[in-house]
Amino acid sequence: MEPLKSPTVVNPNAIVTVNPAIENYQFGLLHNTDHPVLAEMEALAEANNFPIVGRLVGVFLETLAKTAGAKRVFEFGSGYGYSAYWFARAVGAEGQVICTEADLLNQQKAEAYLTAAGLWDRVNFQAGMAQDIFNATEGEFDICYNDVDKGDYPEIWQMAKDRIRPGGLYIADNVLWRGRVAVEQFKDVFPGWTEAIRQHNQMIFDDPDFDTFINPTRDGVLVARKKS
Ligand SMILES: C[S@@+](CC[C@H](N)C(=O)[O-])C[C@H]1O[C@@H](n2cnc3c(N)ncnc32)[C@H](O)[C@@H]1O
């Protein structure tokens, strides 16, 4: 019998990770994820071309966080709170999501959206560089989530890995970078970012203390679980 072939298309002229028909199918399976605030956040992202994780990855993040029993999540690069929405649902009323964001205007938007969603009291949103805020925050985390500028990915991994509790997760978005990590001739939109993501991914897969996997949904989500 022929082995099953992945439907993933790597087309050098149009960077695609997962076939859009498959993502549409996945969208069609979702239910109970609708909230008016989500739709507003998604509309803003569409209008401003702002890179939120989107609903498929959002559901994935919430599921991972619930599976890990996460109560304390640190987000590197929170935008206006879309990914935090999913983590905040997962950690429950007693949990906390520490959000970091370089752009102060995004903090104001996050407060409005997450207040409307009834989740703001689980969020500690701090404006500034994620690296500085992380260094100023004590303790271990159930999840460290990385979604900052991609050139900083190796640095974020190095600082986060030692502060994830055993059994906890390191999660990073955009690790396939629209296929650029796999296809040499793709032009780097931001110089050095593709190489930084490649280096980041390699370091994590080579780390014996973590079990690591990349989910290719949307732009690729890396999940690394610290061994217990
Ligand atoms: C891809 S967006 C985050 C999207 C968000 N995680 C979501 O899915 O809704 C990246 C955000 O990180 C912020 N950012 C980039 N580098 C940062 C850094 N070193 N520290 C704090 N924020 C950073 C940017 O201003 C931007 O809003």
Q: Is residue 1 part of a domain?
A: no
Residue 159: per-residue pLDDT? 98
* Domain hosting residue 73, numbered range: 51-226
pLDDT tens-place values along the chain, 228 residues long: 444 444 444 444 346 678 889 999 999 999 877 789 999 999 999 999 999 999 999 999 999 999 999 999 999 999 999 999 999 999 999 999 999 999 999 999 999 999 999 999 999 999 999 999 999 999 999 999 999 999 999 999 999 999 999 999 999 999 999 889 998 777 777 889 999 999 999 999 999 999 999 999 999 999 999 999
Q: In this structure, is residue 35 part of a structural domain?
A: no
Q: Residue 13: inside a domain, yes or no?
A: no
Query: To test the ligand 1 pocket, which listed residue (149, 152, 178, 193) has its Cβ within 8 A of the most ligand atoms?
Result: 149
Number of domains in the chain: 1
4 assigned to some structural domain: no
- Using the structure block, give the residue that is written with the tokens 């909230």: 35
Indicate whether 20 belongs to any domain.
no
52 CB under 6 A from ligand 1? Answer: yes
For position 106, which CATH number holds? 3.40.50.150
Q: Which atom of ligand 1 is nearest to the CA of 80?
A: 9
For residue 3, being part of any structural domain is answered with: no
Confirm or reject: Cβ of 219 under 6 Å from ligand 1. Answer: no
Q: Is 121 in the pocket of ligand 1 (CB under 6 A)?
A: no
> Is residue 26 included in any domain, yes or no?
no
Q: Is residue 71 part of a domain?
A: yes
Distance 6 CA to ligand 1 centre (A): 31
Q: pTM (2 decimals)? A: 0.93
